[in-house]
Structure formats: structure tokens, C-alpha cells
Amino acid sequence: MNRRLSDATMRSISAEVARPSYDRARTKAGIVHLGLGAFHRAHQAVFVDDCMNNGECDWGIVGVSLRSPETRDALSPQDGIYTLSVVDGSGEKLRVVGSILRSLVAPENPQAVLSELCDPSVRIVTLTVTEKAYLRDAGSDLDINHRDIIWDSQNPNNPRTLYGFLVESIARRAAGGTVPFTVLSCDNLPANGATLRRLLIAFAGLRDPNLKRFIEREISCPSSMVDRIVPATTNDDRTRISTALGVSDAWPVTTEPFLQWVIEDDFPSGRPRWESFGVEMVADVAPFEDMKLRLLNGSHSTIAYLGLLSGHATVSEAFSDPAIRAFVSCLWGEAKPSLPGGKGLRLDAYTDELTKRYDNPALKHRTAQIANDGSQKLPQRIMTTALDRAAAGGSFRMLMLTPAAWIAACEARGSTLPSAHFTDPLDGQLTAIFARRLTSLETVRSVFDAAGFANGSPFRQAFIEQVATHLESLRTNGVVKTLKEGIT
């Protein structure tokens, strides 16, 4: 198929495919998004597209990749447009999304990114950069010894990190009398807005006390909770979707029908009317965020590692395994008491919905994709829940099987799993630990030290011992017997 999806060819695609109703040539950017990946294109960009279809055409998005040119290279020949595929057991619905007006790759041209961030029409900067891009140390503070943080603090005009780009553009806007933008984190971090604000202020303090005070006084960082399962796009997806369109789409995105966004309503310089399209604008995101992290993200990681150890390639395959399914139900039972009551949360309804979502066979969400970066994800997905349970005198036995499964899956790479099946920022340290052939207890203690899990907590030793018990069982008995023993 020679013709590519683009503004010029969009009119010729199948009439059954939804497409932008607005004139993209008459739009302008109001949002810069850092971390241009599949999740953003299936979530925030869709809500913005809804607003633009409703006449709010000054909220287009400039997408920025902080690392890879892959998305830019695929989208630029298509004028930034792409196909959203929503799939479930009933079939597939296609929609062309036009809210991303252009895209940049930060390492190639930092000045172009700074120029976009300093444009007065830009009033919001959104982020989906994943946990590891926040560059935190073992105490969750800014890692001031990280080489890129050191570089950005000394080379403000040529930044590499999200902090370097944000702080330099804030400084330039202030110097030019341009109103500050709002910075909206959409990453899976507890209190993501407050966390981002604290780290941003810490970085600004490395540069200039006056700039630090300006950010403390003028920059809003609302928290948000995002929820939608977005698998990696496959060649089969590209072929199927391009055939349905009648033109080639190099970078479609496939997702589930479920979609949720909860945002703290704190946008001094304005925002789109997201609430018209189902976004929940609230005073306090924290209860919703905790529910998602502890029930969805925590179980997602659990399914991923147990699924990998059991030979299941996707979430739906793993969740159809009776042993894994039963264990996840028990995990939810242990996690739910850690969440607050009376905050509008419907916990049983939420896990019922999660069960339906995990059962979706049309959504090929790879366990190996979810397994990446476990050392960065498990603290907020599992360890925080366990700490709250332990402090309340509750059980954390189920919860501690997840880090055990993570360790076992990491250890299995190069033997029962391919050596590069998934990755972690601590891979160098983990490889060295596994090479020592330690006992389960010694292995867990060494991994906890490397990852900083539960540092400073009076429950740390109890966690280590429980994880070691699970790891020993996984090593000796395998997944099925470990799970059966775990839930009895």
C-alpha cells in the first residue's frame, strides 16, 4: 500500500472511520506534551481531539520525545495524524485522531523544544515520561548526582532532562513577561503533581534561588490519574488497520473501550473543557490515584511477572490461568483495606471492571511490556500498599509475592526466559546479585538494598523474610504450587 494516511488522503478513507471535523490548518498549539508514546496517543490526545471537534481549536498538541525518534519518524509523513483502534470481544472501531499538530525529538534539537515551550500560546505542558525519567534517588528525592541532572544544572541552554527543559523555559517565559504554563503529570506516581513540583523546585534550586522562588510562587502542578490499557502496536495491527482505512498508517494505536482521567482542577492560565467529554475535574485526586495504583497497576505487575514465569505472553492469557486469576482476587482483597472509605471510590465495582478488562482477548497486552522497569514501579504499586497494611496491623503476605515474582522473572532471563525479554534500570546490579548464587533470603536482601525498597521502615525485615519465603517456593515448586499454597 503506497499511499500514507495524511491530511491529503484522509478524505478518501472509509466512511465508517471517524475523523476530525475541524480544519487542522486553522488550529494552533496550546499544549506541549513530553513523552510522546502510545499511551498519550490513546488517552490525553483523544480527549484533546474531542475538545477540538467541539470547537476548541487552540488546544492542539506539540508532541516531544525525550529519547527515541521512532514516533516522530512515523507521524511526520502523516502530518501527525494516526488511527485509534478500540477493540473488545464485539469487534473493532477505528477513529483518526488529529490533535497532535507536530512532533519533535529533544536530543536532536533541544532549541526547537525550548522554542515551543516558550510560545505564549502554550498554556499547559503534560507529561507521560514513565517513573524512571523523574530521576529520583533511593529516598525519592531528586538524584542530584545523576549525570544528566549535573549537565542540565550547568548547561541550561542545552537541556537533556524534563527538569532542564521545564525550568529553562519557565525562566525564559518569566524574562519575556509570558504567563507561566501549568505542568500536568500523567504518570503513575503517587501524588504525581506534588511529586513533580517538589522535584522541579529542587532542580531549580541547583540553578538559581530566585528561579526556585518563582516556581514555588507561580507554577501550578496539578495531580492527575490516568487509566487505559494500551498494548504496544504490532505489525499485524498496522496491516489490519491500514487495510480497513485503504491507506497506510505506520503508527496506529490499539486500546480498550475503558477510558478514565481524573484531574485536580488547578489551571491558572486556562484549560480545555475536558469535563464535557467525561474527564473528572476534582479538588483531590489522591483517592482515585491510590485506587488505580494499588488495584490496577499493582495487579497488572503481578499478572505480568506470574504470567512470564508461567509462559503466558499476554495479560488475557495469564488472567485466564485459574491459579493466577484466583491469586489476583486475593491480592485485591489484601489491597482494598488500605484505601480510604467515603471518597467516592467504588472498590468492588472497580475490580469487577478490571476483571472484564483483563479478560478482553482482543487486547494483546504483552506481559513482557508490562514487566519493564519493575524496580521503579513496585514501590508505588506494591510496597506503599504493604507499608500501609503493616502499619494498620494487616496482612501483606499476598502483596509480597509480587516482588518475589519480579525477582524470579528477572532471574529467569537467559534461562527459561530470553535474556532481553524485559529490562530494568537495575539490570547491572541484578545480574551481579544473581551471579553470586545466593540463598533466597540473601538474594532478596541484596535486591531490596539495590532497589531501596522499604528503606527506613520498621517492617522492612518482615517484608524481606516474606518475599524470601515466596521466592524460595517459586524457585523450588514453581508458580502453580506457590500460588495454591499462598491463597490457602
pLDDT tens sequence across 416-470: 999 999 999 999 999 999 999 999 999 999 999 999 999 999 999 999 999 999 9
Closest CA to 106 of 174, 175, 33, 176: 33
Per the structure block, which three cell numbers stand in for 263? 484531574
Task: Give me the residue label for grid cell 482477548.
Answer: 361
Question: What is the mean predicted confidence (pLDDT) over 99-112?
Answer: 97
- Rg of the chain (C-alpha set): 23
Under the banding of pLDDT at 50, 70 and 90, the label for residue 190 is confident
Under the banding of pLDDT at 50, 70 and 90, the label for residue 406 is very high
Task: Output the CA–CA distances (angstroms, integers) from residue 228 to 46, 124, 206, in the order listed.
Answer: 12, 22, 36
Under the banding of pLDDT at 50, 70 and 90, the label for residue 373 is very high
Residue 215's contacts (CB-CB under 8 Å, 6 or more residues apart) are 167, 170, 200, 201, 204
As beta bridge partners, residue 29 has: 60
pLDDT for 1 equals 59
Separation CA 273–CA 48 (nearest Å): 9
pLDDT for 157 equals 95
Separation CA 461–CA 457 (nearest Å): 9
Question: What is the mean predicted confidence (pLDDT) over 233-244?
Answer: 94
Query: Does the domain made of 286-486 have the CATH classification 1.10.1040.10?
Result: yes
Would you say 458 and 452 are in contact if contact means Cβ atoms under 8 Å apart? no
Question: What is the mean predicted confidence (pLDDT) over 49-60?
Answer: 98
Question: What is the mean predicted confidence (pLDDT) over 143-170?
Answer: 97
Question: What is the mean predicted confidence (pLDDT) over 315-337?
Answer: 96
- If you average pLDDT over every residue of the chain, what do you get? 95
Task: Give me the residue label for grid cell 540553578.
Answer: 207
Question: What is the mean predicted confidence (pLDDT) over 313-336?
Answer: 96
As beta bridge partners, residue 95 has: 18, 84
CATH 3.40.50.720 in the chain, residues? Answer: 10-282
Cα dihedral sign for 325, 327, 331, 332? positive
Separation CA 265–CA 114 (nearest Å): 26
**Helix, strand, coil percent content, the chain, rounded in steps of 5:** 50, 15, 35
CATH 1.10.1040.10 in the chain, residues? Answer: 286-486
Which is the CATH superfamily of the domain at 10-282? NAD(P)-binding Rossmann-like Domain (3.40.50.720)
Separation CA 296–CA 260 (nearest Å): 12
Question: What is the mean predicted confidence (pLDDT) over 352-380?
Answer: 94
pLDDT at 341 over 90: no
Total-model pTM: 0.84
As beta bridge partners, residue 84 has: 95, 253
Would you say 110 and 68 are in contact if contact means Cβ atoms under 8 Å apart? no
Separation CA 384–CA 481 (nearest Å): 27
Under the banding of pLDDT at 50, 70 and 90, the label for residue 311 is very high
